[in-house]
Structure 1
Amino acid sequence: MSRRYKNLFIMLKKCILKHKKITICIFVIMLIFFNSAKKWIDRRNAMLEMYEPIIVEFPLRGEWLSPNTPGTKVPSHGTNQLGTRYAYDFIQVDWNRIGTPAYRVGVMQYLFSGVKLSDYYCWGQEVYSPCDGIVVGAEDGYAENEKTNLLADMSNAYKNAHYFDPEKDDIQSVAGNYVIIKYSENVYAALCHLQTGSIQVSVGQMIKKGEVIGRVGHSGNSFAPHLHFQLMDSSDISVANGVPCAFEQYEIFRDNEWQIIENGIPTDKDRIRFW
């Protein structure tokens, strides 16, 4: 320890000893405050999970996998920020290849030279409105990276997860190109990371369940082309809380056959199909 920091430590120790009672009181008050804050957050999250999930239509067509889903863990993305507590990510994979990759090329190319977006199974797939409602947010024009690369994408994801500041940073740096639909009072659907130039709706437009709104892309804080979907209690992603969500009907492949699931929440192992 340097002389400077040693002297500072000695002064701090003397101050604590001199004002022992005051220091203990401050410490106890801080402990009570943080404990109360944690209990309040836990109660709020528990109350949210007491509610029945909002039922919407599956926003994609074909076969899909959800590597991040509230059917496996909550919060599904490891945080409650940006309304992501009950969010889903959807990708398409090759179920017949070892490791069920999401791209057509070999894993070595992904690790070292990168994969073109067009080599991903889901890139460019149509995205559909999960509900009737009104479009309250639609942002396009955010550029996608031409390729995915393990190190670059991990670095980008880490930076946005740990250093994003909603008061300073553009929400598109995280959400990319997105559409937000008001489903009902305090329930909004967000569909993010859409393909640049693919959004087919505009703010103020009334929309019906099943209408095409855009295409799956790789914009914003995206590890690979995928659809990020969530329900939330505000049209402003930066301050929203997540809202539980389930899908009114889809199929999963189980025991060598397709089985219909109603009002379900898929897990990260489910092979999902919806037409």
Structure 2
Amino acid sequence: MLEMYEPIIVEFPLRGEWLSPNTPGTKVPSHGTNQLGTRYAYDFIQVDWNRIGTPAYRVGVMQYLFSGVKLSDYYCWGQEVYSPCDGIVVGAEDGYAENEKTNLLADMSNAYKNAHYFDPEKDDIQSVAGNYVIIKYSENVYAALCHLQTGSIQVSVGQMIKKGEVIGRVGHSGNSFAPHLHFQLMDSSDISVANGVPCAFEQYEIFRDNEWQIIENGIPTDKDRIRFW
């Protein structure tokens, strides 16, 4: 039984169909560490469910492995990201450049370095989170949405926002293996010292037994085909 006590319920922060390759519905800590508030964090990507291996990109696997993939060839890159809750924006950092394409070996090396050697006292949090938005939902509950597309953030610090408002677009900034949305709840507005807070989504659908089924207050696994509109 996974540890998941009294999760905070928020709205799913994306629209359309998604897969969560890293989710607390499958393992805790979902990202293999408790650092940077990631204990209960989610990653979301879009994939081609009809191709072998359900790749997240439109090109062939050999190109992905050896020459890299342009960001525009990823299904989720540039998709709109929505506020999961009512709240106030307490952090909004843009301007962190994205690489023009993914590179398997370089991205793996960067991920390993940041996972094992990131020092919050001297390293820039954007080297990990990339372009991000942090929303204060309630006392000691903050939502972080990370790796956003450069130049896409549409909110600013101090702004009151409503659940469902567009805040930016899915990108590949910071410590990102491929374009995706990293989403987490945490107990501090400072990612470098935050602890993760359990989170579930108030409603979404999963494709099961050849039909879409509504899930309420759910936590998807890494096998679930998720849909929300």
Q: Which band: TM-score by shorter chain? A: over 0.9
Could you tell me whether the CA contact under 8 Å between 2:2 and 2:27 is conserved in 1? no
The TM-score with structure 1 as length reference comes to: 0.82
SS of match in other structure, 1:181: strand
In 2, the alpha carbon distance for the partners of 1:227 and 1:259 equals: 23
In 2, the alpha carbon distance for the partners of 1:150 and 1:134 equals: 37
SS of match in other structure, 2:54: coil
In 2, the alpha carbon distance for the partners of 1:158 and 1:105 equals: 26
The TM-score with structure 2 as length reference comes to: 0.98
How many angstroms does 1:50 deviate by? 6.5
Note if 1:65 corresponds to 2:28.
no
The aligned counterpart of 1:206 is 160
Could you tell me whether the CA contact under 8 Å between 2:89 and 2:159 is conserved in 1? yes
SS of match in other structure, 2:33: coil
- Using a 3 Å threshold, how does the CA distance of structure 1 residues 113 and 252 change in structure 2: closer, same or farther? same
Deviates further, 150-159 or 178-187? 150-159
How many angstroms does 1:147 deviate by? 0.6
Structure 1 gap ranges (5+)? 1-46
SS of match in other structure, 2:151: coil
SS of match in other structure, 1:48: coil
How many angstroms does 1:51 deviate by? 3.5
In 1, the alpha carbon distance for the partners of 2:28 and 2:52 equals: 28
Which of 61, 64, 76 lines up with 2:30 in the alignment? 76
Deviations 1:122-159 (A, max 9, x none): 00000000000000000000000101011011011011
Q: In percent, how many aligned pairs have the same letter?
A: 100
In 2, the alpha carbon distance for the partners of 1:118 and 1:155 equals: 22
SS of match in other structure, 2:116: helix
Structure 2 gap ranges (5+)? none
In 1, the alpha carbon distance for the partners of 2:168 and 2:4 equals: 33
Moved over 3 A (4+): 47-51
Could you tell me whether the CA contact under 8 Å between 2:37 and 2:195 is conserved in 1? yes
SS of match in other structure, 2:2: helix
Could you tell me whether the CA contact under 8 Å between 1:48 and 1:243 is conserved in 2? no
Note if 1:168 corresponds to 2:122.
yes
Could you tell me whether the CA contact under 8 Å between 1:48 and 1:244 is conserved in 2? no
Could you tell me whether the CA contact under 8 Å between 2:4 and 2:198 is conserved in 1? no
Larger RCO: Structure 1 or Structure 2 (Cα < 8 Å, ≥ 6 residues apart)? 2
Bigger Rg, structure 1 or 2: 1
Deviations 1:198-238 (A, max 9, x none): 00000000000000000000000000000000000000000
Could you tell me whether the CA contact under 8 Å between 1:137 and 1:235 is conserved in 2? yes
Size of the alignment, in residue pairs? 229
Which structure features the higher share of helix residues?
1
In 2, the alpha carbon distance for the partners of 1:57 and 1:222 equals: 23
The aligned counterpart of 1:156 is 110
Deviations 1:104-132 (A, max 9, x none): 00000011111000000000000000000
Could you tell me whether the CA contact under 8 Å between 1:82 and 1:238 is conserved in 2? yes
- Using a 3 Å threshold, how does the CA distance of structure 1 residues 166 and 254 change in structure 2: closer, same or farther? same
Could you tell me whether the CA contact under 8 Å between 1:49 and 1:244 is conserved in 2? no
